[in-house]
């Protein structure tokens, strides 16, 4: 089922504001070399749930930072509500997921530059997990 214009508009608002909130929290928390971005937001038809895909660079700290984001989910939702109070009546429940597409692309590029060719031997690359 395709997203409606309203879902896309609300997802765009959430994506822009969450990116600012998380990046500011990362710099205030002393993680100056860490880049946090929101790659995609999917909002359900009833606008009660939002799947937020977070991309974190460098990848080695991604899982611990994602757990920290999930732990402070209530505060993030409150701050998002304060920013969007004139645009949204109700802020959807936020579910955060790690977006591993950059890491996957990096593995493909390294494999293509190296001796091993993933096109000929598909077992070299990990299978992507669908969420």
Give residue-wise pLDDT tens across range 53-64. Answer: 998 887 787 888
Q: How many domains does the chain have?
A: 2
> For residue range 65-101, what is the model confidence (pLDDT) as tens digits?
889 899 999 999 999 999 998 888 899 999 999 988 7
The string of DSSP codes covering 16-44 is HHHHHHHHHHHHHTT-TT-EEEEEEEEE-
> For residue range 19-35, what is the model confidence (pLDDT) as tens digits?
999 988 888 877 777 78
Domain identity same for 88 and 105: no
Domain identity same for 48 and 106: no
The domain of 81 spans 5-99
């Amino acid at each position: 089922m395709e997203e409606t214009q309203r879902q896309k508009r609300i997802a765009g608002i959430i994506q822009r504001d969450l990116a600012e909130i998380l990046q500011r929290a990362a710099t205030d928390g002393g993680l100056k070399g860490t880049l946090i971005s929101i790659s995609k937001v999917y909002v359900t038809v009833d606008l009660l749930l939002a799947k937020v895909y977070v991309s974190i660079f460098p990848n080695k700290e991604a899982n611990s930072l994602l757990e920290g984001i999930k732990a402070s989910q209530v505060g993030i939702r409150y701050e998002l509500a304060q920013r969007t109070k004139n645009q949204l009546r109700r802020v959807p429940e936020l579910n955060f997921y790690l977006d591993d597409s950059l890491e996957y692309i990096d593995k493909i590029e390294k494999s293509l530059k190296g001796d091993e060719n993933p096109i000929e031997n598909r077992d070299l690359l990990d299978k992507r997990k669908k969420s």
